[in-house]
Structure 1
């Protein structure tokens, strides 16, 4: 999924792809959709066999018949991750969470978990609704959306941004992170998930699973593959692991019957203006 630029995604995951191809004897190649919505459509059309996506997108894929079989552990060993709400450190108009009311928010994508949905759920838990923002914008694609959201706040184009935990590490060579302040951190939700498309051969999925689960940080070569992919291990997953994410989505849809999550079009406008 294009949360980062295609170059970053290729560099991170190609060693894992090469490992899986060697271990399973299956021909494999990476696929690079330009948008989150395109990723979903490609899975639906059978153009992606194994999807690596955030939990929010997985819930949508499950409705199309895809099923989770593996998920990653974060570099620190947690099988879950969080979102971060960030502001420019010199923005004196935002000192506490309540100060975001009436401000401009740039999120990663309507389907982004840590970069949008987790933050929106966190705002709702604190009595702040989408309509309370002067503007909600989504980072333009293709790819690199996490970086673009962070850079937009750094440049002062927006007051607040939401990114997934760890995204700031991607831009540390482009900006001075001392000028970025983490205003809040969302609750944890289960990690990024590998899902097989509807109708995929179960024996092939099992073969890929075994190769994934064999990877160990105790093996030097395998540790390099995992570290490069920004994970400390791949563990089994089931569909029910993501029920907490379904609950979050339901809460957001109740709050906003016109939620962009429900029916984003292929030509989705990058900016959503919530002001009357």
Structure 2
């Protein structure tokens, strides 16, 4: 899921961003206006792209359609440029629902966002939520075969607030003794960091030789970019894999009220999957996959599922983990 973004997470409690300003007054979370089904007249859903995307809304269309059908609310979708704006929107009461990568979810809570997990996405029916960070280099690069070989090299990260594009890679590089704890302060002591902004951009920069090595999440490299023709099979070599990271998730502002949050949790975990979406006539086939992670569905998730991310924050000593 995540965080693959343009602004460091430490800025989450900084001045209001353009997203918050643009959303002012459009959320139903702090309004007494409710429709006949007991939901806000308008529900605002915010997300940011995992890859460079000019139309993220299209990948959320099944989610939007299901929400509008089952709640009777009008869903306003906002494509934000970074999670700082999403979190500020939640805190200000202008965002009701958000799709988070695991790191951004943890930091959002530290920054003061009062949110509850609705469920985590899975790639396939019966699957478990979660994914891995990959350490990558070009397949024909004989000089890099382990993370230790990243020392002194130009290394592509996604963004300082990315779970699989920065946080877990930082922990791996610390264990490999390439960098020291407090990674955002010490990266340049062990390598030359380049922040690509998206997982696809990181992988492409590695393939093009702009970075000697770098990081991206598993299915972006193994599936999405190959299916799009952006990478050839075998073009990149995976020389490191992280432990399984808790899955990207939908979360709701608690300002919606406990009853509404419970109803939305049931809706997401029971009906937001490809089988139910097709049965409802909302979409067909692969068009029913949603978010830019192309998820099959949503399964239950709890705040405790993200304790692994909190542990990696302890290992790295990253200021990005402090809200």
The TM-score with structure 2 as length reference comes to 0.72
Aligned length: 255
Displacement, 1:41? 2.7
Matches of 2:91 and 2:213, distance apart in 1:
34
Residue matched to 2:30: none
Residue matched to 2:84: 37
Query: 3-state DSSP class of the match of 1:60?
Result: helix
Matches of 1:139 and 1:251, distance apart in 2:
24
Which one is further off, 175-184 or 241-250? 175-184
Contact 1:72–1:235 under 8 Å retained in 2: yes
The 1:101/1:60 distance shift into structure 2, 3 A limit, reads same
The 1:206/1:176 distance shift into structure 2, 3 A limit, reads same
Contact 1:31–1:48 under 8 Å retained in 2: no
Matches of 1:70 and 1:242, distance apart in 2:
12
Structure 2: runs of 5 or more not aligned: 1-47
The 1:159/1:49 distance shift into structure 2, 3 A limit, reads same
Displacement, 1:261? 4.8
> For 1:50, which of 70, 88, 97 is the aligned residue?
97
Residue matched to 2:195: 138
Matches of 1:244 and 1:262, distance apart in 2:
15
> For 2:132, which of 75, 82, 90 is the aligned residue?
82
2:296 aligned with 1:249: no
Matches of 1:138 and 1:262, distance apart in 2:
20
Max radius of gyration: which structure?
2
Query: 3-state DSSP class of the match of 1:80?
Result: coil
> For 2:176, which of 126, 137, 159 is the aligned residue?
126
Query: 3-state DSSP class of the match of 1:178?
Result: coil
Aligned Cα RMSD in Å? 2.3
Contact 2:118–2:269 under 8 Å retained in 1: no
For residues 1-276 of structure 1, the aligned pairs below 5 Å read 1-7=48-54, 9-63=56-110, 64=112, 65-75=114-124, 77-129=127-179, 130=183, 131=186, 132-140=189-197, 145-168=198-221, 169-172=223-226, 173-215=229-271, 216-219=273-276, 221=278, 224=285, 226-229=288-291, 230-253=294-317, 259-262=319-322
Q: Deviations over 1:57-103 (max 9, x none)?
A: 00111221222232122337122111111111122221222211111
Contact 1:226–1:233 under 8 Å retained in 2: no
Matches of 2:305 and 2:54, distance apart in 1:
30
Displacement, 1:110? 0.8
Structure 1: runs of 5 or more not aligned: 264-276
Which one is further off, 18-27 or 226-235? 226-235
The TM-score with structure 1 as length reference comes to 0.83
Matches of 2:123 and 2:245, distance apart in 1:
12
